Amino acid sequence: MDYIEKIKECISDLEEEGMLGYIEKLLEVGEEPIEIVNRALIPGIENVGALYQEGEYFIPELLYGLEIMNQGMDMLLPYISKSQTRRYGNVVIGTVEGDTHDIGKNIVASLLEASGFGVTDLGHDVAPEQFVCHVKEHDTDIVAMSALLTSTMGAMGDTIELLKKEGLRDKVKVMIGGAVITEEFREKIGADMFCVSAMDTVKAAKQYCEGK
């Protein structure tokens, strides 16, 4: 039996039954835990993300797929160092000041982490100073900001201006997203990337980090 494929199917088909047993079987025969993550868990959740993007799955299915994958991660992480699970760069993410909507942001953060990024989630209602302070104090490749209200969009521009003022703008890429965000707004405030969906965000982040 191909246990790698079985694990991928458990996540892709949202059928958690048996997955932990398949992982245990692989560990018993000497499969490297990091290989199970890279060859089974990550491709599985990427399949779920693709089905979500194609309209076959919706937010509940995406969240459930993440929950199943995280059960596998919880089982494997004790055997894996943090450095081994990170294949890409470091992202700081948050919903901007004045905005408390964070379901979409949470999905993006989970998908980024599952895909091999180091992720720091600052939560919601994050002031520009908090984003900038994190960039100052930590090795950061991408600043990702979300907004769902027109009244809070301006905080994205404020954060970019503060990054410039502190001499940090050229050190990071700025990604923005959310229901009210447009490409025209991205151009106006000088962000690097505007992402429509969670999977678009992961894809854009990978492309940037692979091209560094």
CATH number, domain at 11?
A: 1.10.1240.10
Q: What is the pLDDT of residues 105-140, one digit of tens each?
A: 988 888 888 788 999 999 999 999 999 999 999 999
- Residue 186's domain spans which residues? 86-210
pLDDT at residue 59 in the model: 86
Give the global pTM: 0.74
Q: Determine how many CB atoms are found less than 10 A away from the CB of residue 207.
A: 10
- Structure-block tokens of residue 8: 């991928």
Rounded CA-CA distance 106/102 in Å is 6
Distances in Å between the alpha carbon of 46 and those of 41, 160, 162, 164, 198? 9, 30, 34, 35, 11
Claim to verify: residue 18 and residue 121 sit in the same structural domain: no
In total, how many domains does the chain have? 2
Mean pLDDT of 71-90: 79
- What is the band of 86 on the pLDDT scale with cuts at 50, 70, 90? low
Tell me: do 148 and 58 sit in the same domain: no
Q: Which residue has the higher pLDDT, 150 or 77?
A: 150
